[in-house]
Amino acid sequence: MLSVKTRLFVLLAAAAVLALSACAPNGPTTEATPTPEPARTIVIGVSLSNLDNPFFVAVREGVVEAAERFNATVVIEDAQDDAQRQTSQIQALIAQRVDALLVNPVNSTEIGQALQEAYDAGIPIFTVDRSADNEHIVAHIASDNVSGGKMAASYLAEIINENGKVVELQGIPDTSAAQDRGLGFHNTITIFPEIQVIARETANFNREEGHDVFAQILADNPQIDGVFAQNDEMILGAIAAAKEAGRLGEIAFVGFDAIDEAVTAVENGELNATVAQQPKEMGRLSVETIMQHLDGESVASFIPVDLALITR
């Protein structure tokens, strides 16, 4: 027979077991952990004027490398120097609902309607190298082309001893790059009273046209002391024409862009100088500026990229 003390201990132990049983859940339970939604990939639509031009190939490289760092997707279109084609490509990018649009216009004016459609669709617009006639551009990333034109004119004047007859080969007329480089060159070369600009001809930033246009200028002018072309493609075409005419050694040549072939031409003495842009840097800065804007940061309306003169 249990003592009173022992029976009291048993009763207390049983009460404790019942209390624990009452507090315990009926079955195993797990708290649901919410699954985070995956971050949406930013898509940037890019329209470049002509990917046959090494300059714009370098812009594309900068865009692609920067986009990879931000885990962004880029859709890149080549307008092949066709303004109507570029308009159609931009409209297709709008239909894809890209998050931002980066454009290097074939024609600064003709692209306006397509850019207006992008703005109306709520897509922020950025331009690179060449600006566009549209009030809704968030930022323009480019060299100071007016300064570049001045730089080219000053150096050309120096190497022909501020005296002689010079030619200017112009790019696509309705592009800001051609207009600004031409303005800088014209405003500076006219400072020198003994320098006469005997021809200003359009060659549309194209090497073959640069060759053909300058070949005709050579045929029409027995004396030419210097040539400035608003890009390296045209100046390389002009150099080829001068070689064919046997007049390479009598003419000074200055280009613009510092593409690899032009730098080689400077090194081997055929080209006196080229104004060096940084197209890959333009591409990189374009993507960085776009991402800053999409993150809600304030960005400058003009992002300048440094220039330099490459000479012999």
Report whether pLDDT(138) > 80.
yes
| 43-142+279-304 and 145-276 agree in CATH topology | yes
Q: According to the model, what pLDDT value does residue 34 have?
A: 57
Dist CA 174 CA 106 (whole Å)? 8
Identify whether the C-beta of residue 289 lies closer than 8 Å to the C-beta of residue 139: yes
For 142-155, the pLDDT digits (tens) are: 999 999 999 999 99
Superfamily of domain 145-276: Response regulator (3.40.50.2300)
Assess contact for 88 and 311: CB atoms under 8 A.
no
Phi/psi for 179 (5° steps) reads: -65, -45
Burial class (CB in 10 A: 0-12, 13-18, 19+), 4: exposed
- The better pLDDT of the pair 38, 155 is held by 155
90 burial type by CB count under 10 A (0-12 exposed, 13-18 middle, 19+ buried): buried
**Pairing relationship of beta strands 308-311 and 273-276 according to DSSP bridges:** antiparallel
Domain boundaries, the chain: 43-142+279-304, 145-276
Can you give the pTM of this predicted structure?
0.77
**Whether pLDDT at 37 is above 60:** no
Query: What fold characterizes domain 43-142+279-304?
Result: Rossmann fold (3.40.50)
Greater pLDDT, 25 or 192: 192
Query: What's the confidence (pLDDT) of residue 33?
Result: 57
Between the alpha carbon of residue 51 and those of residues 6, 57, 77, 112, 228, the distances in Å are 97, 6, 9, 21, 23
The mean pLDDT value for 69-98 works out to: 97
State how far the Cα of 31 lies from the Cα of 210, in Å rounded to an integer.
73
Residues in the chain: 312
Read off the pLDDT of residues 39-60 as tens digits, 9 standing for 90 and up.
679 999 999 999 999 999 999 9
Contact assessment for residue 195 and residue 164, using Cβ atoms and an 8 Å cutoff: yes
Give the per-residue pLDDT at 312.
85
Confidence of residue 84 (pLDDT cuts 50, 70, 90): very high
**Per-residue pLDDT at 36 exceeds 70:** no
Average pLDDT value for the chain: 90
12 vs 276, higher pLDDT: 276
CA-closest candidate to residue 59, choices 19, 120, 105: 105
Tokens coding 153: 């004119």
The structure tokens listed for 11 are 């009763």
The Cβ of residue 65 has, within 10 Å, a number of other Cβ atoms equal to 13
Q: Is the pLDDT of residue 231 over 70?
A: yes
**Mean pLDDT confidence for 24-40:** 53
**Per-residue pLDDT, 3:** 44
pLDDT at 198: 98
Residue at token pair 């400077």:
266
